[in-house]
Amino acid sequence: MRRSPDQTSEAFEKAALRLAGLALLMAAALSGRLAYEHMVFLAEICGGSAFVGHCVWCAATVALAASGLASFVVAGRPRRVAAPIRKN
């Protein structure tokens, strides 16, 4: 049985969103590793004192992880069908 073009495009969109979410989570893991190495280099936790603020890697880790998880949430939601337009 063949899928309708609408089902095929929906499956493609969900697969693309899952792939994007995976790529974003991998980037978050890399960014987290760089943040950890930065903290080891400074011998202090970023944002732990007035002299050491948060580095870019800390913010990037949180932003990338949130974007990746949001991508998986959107991919898992059922498709909403628009209501038909009534003509008066």
Maximum Cα interatomic distance, the chain, rounded to a whole number of Å = 71
pLDDT digits (tens, 9 = 90+) for 52-81: 777 888 889 999 999 999 999 999 888 777
Tell me the whole-structure pTM to 2 decimals: 0.75
CA separation, residue 81 to residues 6, 24, 78 (Å): 11, 28, 9
Residue 75 burial (C-beta neighbours within 10 Å; 0-12, 13-18, 19+): middle
Range with the lowest mean pLDDT among 14-28, 38-52, 59-73?
38-52
Beta-carbon neighbour count of residue 69 at 10 Å? 14
